[in-house]
Amino acid sequence: MYQTETKSSLYASKLIQQTNYSALSSLPKTYIRQVQAEGEIFMAAPQKCAKLWKEFRRNDFTQVQIPYKTAIQVFDACKEDLQMMLKISNGKDFFDLFDQDNDGYLNEDEQILVFSIIKEKMQQVANLLLQIQQYVPFKQLMKAIRTLEQNICEYQDILRQKIYKSEISTYKEIGLEKLDDFYEKYYNYFMQFENQKKIRIQIQIQKQLEEMGQLEDKLSKNTEFLKVKPKRKLKDLQTQEKLVSLDERVEEAMDFRRELKNMEKKEQERVASEQEKRVESQKDELQRKHQKQMEQLKAKLEEQEHKLIIQLKKEYNVLLKQIGLHSNEIERIQSSATQNAVRKGEKEGELKRMKERARIQNFIIGDTKRTMTPKPQQQNTSTYEESMSSSPRSPAVVTKYDRAAHEIKLLIHKQNYTQFYIKKKYGADLPVNYKAEPYKVQGDNHERIEKILSVKKKNPHDILPSLTELYDENLKELDKGSTQKSEQELTQERLKKKQFILEKLEESTH
């Protein structure tokens, strides 16, 4: 039966069986054969578990938790091995036993739980082989157990790293979301500023046009023309011309009239030019005033824009630091959790076995010291399956599959297996009888990562709209397809806003 068993080991085994013949003679042969058969089944458990692990990964298309249908497919692919090792009849029982949170998925911890329960059953069979003094199969099975422990440690690390990669990508997505929100916020700021700029310039232009109109109305009045008076000499000549004409001094009157005409013509031209110059000077003065006001307004608006760009640059630099602020912390927590899990997977099983072995040795030594006369021990003549399922709380089961399911439930309830706590949830509603998780008691800071990642936004296309948004006041269905933007349009808008803000940042550097 045992190909690796040498003649010396056979001889030693026979000697042990002869010296303890009275202890083994009371055990039924069927019981011993059942234990040996179970030991042979579990000898190849690491290879069978490796096949089961490959099926898990092959059917895990979405790289997330395993749903019910996928678990059924995995069970059907490894049905023979699982029935031999776990005594489970169908895939539904397999899924119900290991879906601890009843969420319809086998998460990472529940997938590792399958291999941990197989390892615990192997440990039980190894203890039974030790009791019936089958030391060579016991040693071989312990070697298989240690191999499976190493494999479980690798499996949980693969699942853990997959989660950690998704956490890093989620953290990067959060950073991109913050950048998109930042671009959108300042894009709206600049658009509002441009609108206000146009409005203020239009108001200033309108005000200047009104002032120019008021000036033209003022200059068009007759009172404005009277402000430019002719020279006094013209009035004297007119008076002299009248006096001369009264005395009928014709020649002198004609000279005065000639000179007066020339004087009136020149004076009329002078007055007209003076009036025109006065009007033009007032208009030019008002235009210079308007130009100065416009330059002051544009300078003020440009100063406000520069202040906005400076504020943009400051907040952008702060945001860039905030985006990468927790990256080192997340990597540190993940690295620490990974090392602790690997160390736990490699050493916890062996430490438990050493502790149990020391406990049994101390019990034997203490019992030997109490009495030197050995008392005959009454051996239980029950079968192997009955000894495996013996429990004061075990219900009345009918078939061997029911007994196997009950045994698995007991193993899960005792929680004597190594727990890695790969999948955790932060911020869930705590029940009244909540107890702190062991990973929290031990100081695992993974909840810190989950708190950091809890700000991740949902895709607007993944959020279900309210029923009131789908119908109008007359309960007619609204056409949301024409109003709701597609993902491509949203992406183009984000790129447009990003390009605009980056151009503003480049302007600030010049």
CB of 329 within 8 A of CB of 448?
yes
- What whole-number distance in Å separates Cα of residue 144 and Cα of residue 155? 16
DSSP 3-state assignment of 477?
A: strand
The band of 390, judged by pLDDT with boundaries at 50, 70 and 90, is: very low
280 contact partners, CB below 8 Å, separation of at least 6 = none
Stretch among 157-166, 232-241, 492-501 having the lowest mean pLDDT: 232-241
Stretch among 408-422, 423-437, 443-457, 476-490 having the lowest mean pLDDT: 423-437
pTM reported for the whole predicted model: 0.68
- Chain centroid to CA 500: how far? 27
The band of 216, judged by pLDDT with boundaries at 50, 70 and 90, is: confident
- What whole-number distance in Å separates Cα of residue 346 and Cα of residue 422? 16
Q: What is the mean pLDDT of the chain?
A: 77
The band of 49, judged by pLDDT with boundaries at 50, 70 and 90, is: very high
DSSP state for residue 105 in the 8-state scheme? E
pLDDT at 142: 92
pLDDT at 363: 84
Among 55, 73, 231, which residue's Cα sits nearest to residue 155? 55
pLDDT at 151: 93
Among 400, 415, 389, 417, which residue's Cα sits nearest to residue 84? 400
Question: Percent of the chain, pLDDT > 90?
Answer: 19
pLDDT at 325: 83
- What whole-number distance in Å separates Cα of residue 137 and Cα of residue 134? 6
User: Tokens 């010049």 identify what position?
Assistant: 510
Check pLDDT > 50 for residue 99: yes
Instruction: State the average pLDDT over residues 144-159.
Output: 92
Angstrom CA distances, 231 to 98, 255, 267, 277, stand at 118, 19, 7, 17
Higher pLDDT pick, 221 / 370:
370
Burial category of 52 from C-beta neighbours within 10 Å (exposed 0-12, middle 13-18, buried 19 and up): buried
- What whole-number distance in Å separates Cα of residue 501 and Cα of residue 181? 12
pLDDT at 387: 45
Question: Percent of the chain, pLDDT > 70?
Answer: 71
Higher pLDDT pick, 355 / 447:
355
Higher pLDDT pick, 389 / 490:
490
pLDDT at 379: 43
Kindly report, residue by residue over 195-205, the tens digit of the pLDDT. Answer: 999 999 999 99
- What whole-number distance in Å separates Cα of residue 95 and Cα of residue 79? 13
Instruction: State the average pLDDT over residues 240-247.
Output: 57
Angstrom CA distances, 147 to 35, 46, 425, stand at 21, 7, 31
The band of 230, judged by pLDDT with boundaries at 50, 70 and 90, is: low
- Residues pairing with 477 in the sheet: 471
**DSSP of 375-427, one letter per residue?**
PPP------HHHHHT--TT-----SHHHHHHHHHHHHHHHT-S-----S--SS
The band of 4, judged by pLDDT with boundaries at 50, 70 and 90, is: very low
What tokens were used for 156? 């949980």
Higher pLDDT pick, 21 / 241:
241
Higher pLDDT pick, 229 / 401:
401
The band of 148, judged by pLDDT with boundaries at 50, 70 and 90, is: very high
- What whole-number distance in Å separates Cα of residue 347 and Cα of residue 59? 31
Higher pLDDT pick, 464 / 304:
304
Higher pLDDT pick, 254 / 412:
412
pLDDT at 239: 65
Check pLDDT > 90 for residue 260: no
Kindly report, residue by residue over 104-139, the tens digit of the pLDDT. Answer: 888 888 899 999 999 999 999 998 898 888 889 999
- Chain centroid to CA 153: how far? 27
Kindly report, residue by residue over 283-297, the tens digit of the pLDDT. Answer: 888 888 989 999 999
The band of 460, judged by pLDDT with boundaries at 50, 70 and 90, is: low
Stretch among 174-188, 246-260, 268-282 having the lowest mean pLDDT: 246-260
